[in-house]
């Protein structure tokens, strides 16, 4: 099967849809939260486009509400989003040959959700290259499709939260699609002892360090998982 730019793009959009759906309640809650922090609607909506990182936007809204100084807000958002540096390193080898404009566009879309899908897609290999090594690699179109699908849903659900002010009932548990998607992506990756060791140690540290502020537990867990994985592999 030959994969064109269009099919790669649409596959990315399609795969991102379930996660985007799960993101809708978060986007709406963010919109409501931003307004209650006295952030004007236009600014609340713009933050979803300018920062485009859910959990850091939640924290920013809370900091604005409590009257925190601007420098503290910027720094906090930076620390919360520090984990994206890991994603950046992880996708970097696959983006190496792309034109700079592609890199600048894709890194804007590098969220948890788009990263998880794109890296899994990249690691599956390039079906085009397997058929014919001279054939082009269009997998960055998959990344673009996944990233744009999430981006659009995030903007729309922020707007819904701002203008409707209502939240999806919690009993629908739509937020559960996010861990389910990550679960669906991580289980097939656990092919050897080292990646199992990486996953278990990272999970354990994430539990122990959960109460750390600014999602630092996540970074700590990620680094621990990588270390344990490498150690297990070298044994």
Partner 1 sequence: MSWLWLTMIAAGLLTYAIRLSFIQLFAHMDIPPTVKRALRFVPPAVLSAIVFPELLLPAGRLDLSLGNSRLLAGLLASLVAWRTKNVFLTILVGMAALLLLQGFQGE
- CA angle, corner 132, sides to 129 and 138, nearest 5? 40
Q: Return the number of the residue (73 or 148) whose C-beta is nearest partner 1.
A: 73
For the bound state, the minimum distance from the C-beta of residue 159 to partner 1, rounded and expressed in Å, comes to 17
For the bound state, the minimum distance from the C-beta of residue 63 to partner 1, rounded and expressed in Å, comes to 9
Q: Return the number of the residue (164 or 207) whose C-beta is nearest partner 1.
A: 207
Q: Return the number of the residue (3 or 39) whose C-beta is nearest partner 1.
A: 39
Q: Return the number of the residue (134 or 208) whose C-beta is nearest partner 1.
A: 208
User: What sign does the CA torsion over 177, 180, 184, 186 have?
Assistant: positive
Lookup result for tokens 């006295």: 38
CA distance 56 to 51: 8
Phi/psi for 37 (5° steps) reads -90, 10
CA distance 111 to 143: 11
Closest of 86, 52, 198 to residue 206, by C-alpha: 198
For the bound state, the minimum distance from the C-beta of residue 204 to partner 1, rounded and expressed in Å, comes to 7
CA distance 18 to 20: 5
Q: Return the number of the residue (125 or 188) whose C-beta is nearest partner 1.
A: 188
CA distance 2 to 129: 10
For the bound state, the minimum distance from the C-beta of residue 106 to partner 1, rounded and expressed in Å, comes to 8
CA distance 5 to 2: 10
Q: Return the number of the residue (82 or 132) whose C-beta is nearest partner 1.
A: 82
Lookup result for tokens 């090594």: 133
């Amino acid at each position: 099967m030959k994969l064109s730019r269009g099919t790669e793009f649409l596959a990315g959009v399609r795969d991102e849809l379930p996660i985007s759906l799960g993101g809708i309640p978060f986007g709406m809650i963010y919109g409501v939260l931003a307004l209650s922090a006295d952030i004007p609607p236009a600014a609340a909506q713009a933050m979803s486009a300018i920062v485009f990182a859910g959990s850091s936007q939640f924290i920013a809204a809370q900091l604005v509400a409590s009257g925190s100084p601007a420098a503290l807000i910027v720094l906090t958002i930076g620390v919360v989003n520090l984990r994206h540096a890991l994603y950046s390193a992880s996708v970097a080898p696959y983006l190496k040959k792309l034109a700079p404009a592609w890199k600048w566009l894709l890194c804007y879309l590098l969220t948890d959700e788009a990263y998880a899908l794109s890296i899994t897609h990249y690691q599956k290999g390039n079906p085009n290259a397997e058929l014919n090594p001279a054939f082009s690699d269009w997998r960055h179109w998959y990344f673009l499709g996944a990233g744009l699908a999430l981006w659009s849903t995030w903007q729309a659900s922020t707007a819904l939260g701002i203008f409707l002010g209502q939240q999806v009932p919690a009993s629908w548990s739509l937020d559960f699609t996010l861990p389910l998607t990550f679960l669906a992506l991580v289980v097939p990756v656990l092919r050897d002892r080292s990646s199992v060791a990486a996953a278990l140690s990272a999970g354990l540290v994430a539990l122990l360090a959960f109460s750390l502020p600014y999602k630092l537990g996540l970074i700590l867990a990620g680094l621990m998982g990588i270390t344990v994985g490498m150690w297990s592999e070298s044994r």
